[in-house]
Amino acid sequence: MTYRPETTGARGAALLADPLLNKGTAFNRQERDELGLDGLLPPAVETLDEQADRAYAAFLNYDKPLNRHIYLRQLQDTNEVLFYRLITEHLEEMLPIVYTPTVGEACRRFSAIYRRPRGLFLSWEDRHRFREILRNRPHPEVDVIVVTDGQRILGLGDQGVGGMGIPIGKLSLYTAIGGIHPARTLPILLDVGTDNEELLANPHYLGRREHRLTGADYDELVEAFVSAVEAELPGTLLQWEDFATVHARPILTRYRDRLLTFNDDIQGTAAVALGALTTAVSVAGTALTDQRFVVVGAGSAAVGVADMIRTALVDEGLSEADAASRFWFVDVNGLLVRSRTDLTDEQRVYARDDGEAAGWNGTGLAEVVRQVAPTALIGLSTAHGAFTEEIVRQMASSSERPIIFPLSNPTSHAEAEPADLARWTDGKALIATGSPFPPVEVDGREVPVAQANNVYVFPAIGLAVTAARASRVTDRMLVAAARAVGECATRAAGADGLVPLLPPLTGMREAAREIAAAAALAAVEDGVAPKASESELRAAVEAAQWVPAYAD
């Protein structure tokens, strides 16, 4: 797809105000003359590469992550091709600025740093007009929507209208990594109010000044939104993002067979964790079916990770019951056991018989690790420091290569510091984290810490469904994507034989094509996409991946 000034009739200042059409100083002399730009730009004519070099220097002049985030957002609102060229050239460096962890602070300060509109804001009062409001979208064709209600932003809780920073950031990565054309993405914020009293008391807060909708009213708003999407944008991928546990799973269950949709916190996080786990068990010289998992935290993301691993275990030959029996869940109230009355149906799948804990010294994490001797410890609790030295050393005493994934975001909520995990296990731990951490030192050499960031999966899923014309996102598609993540990581092994648990971020656009091809093939096999051969799907994936370059 090519967007050109002649297709819109934009000229002069209006052309420069359109971030998809604006080339800034890259407009040549002839274009400046023909498009009414003479005098509106400095005399120099630059190439895109020269613009990117200048923009990178400007980026480096900001010393604080939030200021760098604001600069990049302003660049995105000015010249999207330049923004994405800059991001793709410096992906590893800029990913923590565009998205987690810096996006968390950007959401907290959304009202203070708000500059230009992007996306759609849908409020309760307008629920009967959602279809009409969707028609106000900037571009008619949309491949991917990311929507949030701002209630559970990373580990920061309710950010209300500030949650819009998450869909904007996610969709930036759909484009930078997956290659979804920026004009075909749409961030949406469902403003159902906020229970954050600090925001409600802030005179500059830009959202709805009411406490959050609950119950039937909340469900009515979500249904109105889904119905509007069905009517206006059928076949568009709808990603649910950062909804509270009480809503996330029910929404996914209600709509996953009705729409082309998935929940990234539940399914994307799970697929990336499975990808890193696939590599870890290979490095450890064991099998996935040999693992014993202790999961800390029992929210939608944690259960989603277990569900994804369980699907893979069943695919490798275990029964559903046997696969579920490989998990021990621990939350703030201790081990999940069947006598507990506070469990959801999804949590109850993993509840243990009460008799198993008979004679234990309580059911806290330390005792569970001592009794179970897990081979894998996965944290999605947002409880900083939950993986203590005592617990980790206990685990390492019974596992030659303990797999330890403190996956909670942001960094301040991680269950452990990777450097500590490496020290407590004498460098034997296989580590993946949810937020970026510096390399750890093992045997005198620096070893990168794998960040189990959802960017390994969700952009590729967007690319896969776009290329394959899929009508649904299935579990098998996500498992196929996870396995492809592991294969990409294995192929990235260095000359020293060190295998990263996840592929290097610097090569993620190429990896996204491999992951998308695997998911697209699974879509065809599941019957949710038109018949196509693997070679045809690979060609379609490559053709669908947009490259940030100016149209000739």
CA-to-CA distance for 185 and 207, rounded, in angstroms? 22
DSSP-assigned letter for residue 273: H
Q: Are strands 144-148 and 237-240 parallel, antiparallel or unpaired?
A: parallel
**For tokens 């947009």, what's the residue?**
546
Q: Are strands 440-442 and 445-447 parallel, antiparallel or unpaired?
A: antiparallel
Q: Which helix (H) or strand (E) holds 296?
A: strand 293-296
Alpha helices in 179-240 (DSSP H): 197-201, 215-232
Residues 6+ positions from 130 with CB-CB distance below 8 Å: 122, 224, 225, 227, 228
Residue type, 182: P
Q: Are 357 and 350 in contact (CB under 8 A)?
A: no
Beta bridge partners of 144: 185, 237
CA-to-CA distance for 185 and 236, rounded, in angstroms? 10
Residues 6+ positions from 320 with CB-CB distance below 8 Å: 310, 314
Catalytic option among 170, 218, 255, 350: 170
Integer-rounded Cα Rg, in Å, for the chain is 24
Q: Work out the number of other CB atoms within 10 angstroms of the CB of residue 506.
A: 15
CA-to-CA distance for 470 and 515, rounded, in angstroms? 15
CA-to-CA distance for 411 and 295, rounded, in angstroms? 19
Q: Work out the number of other CB atoms within 10 angstroms of the CB of residue 199.
A: 23
Pick the closest to residue 266 from 243, 295, 288 (CA basis): 243
Catalytic option among 3, 23, 64, 99: 99
DSSP-assigned letter for residue 139: S
Beta bridge partners of 186: 145
Two tokens at 542?
A: 């490559």
List b or e across 122-141, with b for residues whose CB sees 16 or more CB atoms inside 10 angstroms: bbbeebeebbebbeebeeee
Active site residue 218: no
CA-to-CA distance for 159 and 151, rounded, in angstroms? 6
Q: Give the total residue count for the chain.
A: 552
Active site residue 170: yes
Two tokens at 221?
A: 């708003």
For the CA atoms of 3, 26, 513, 506, the dihedral, rounded to the nearest 10 degrees, stands at -150
Catalytic residues: 99, 170
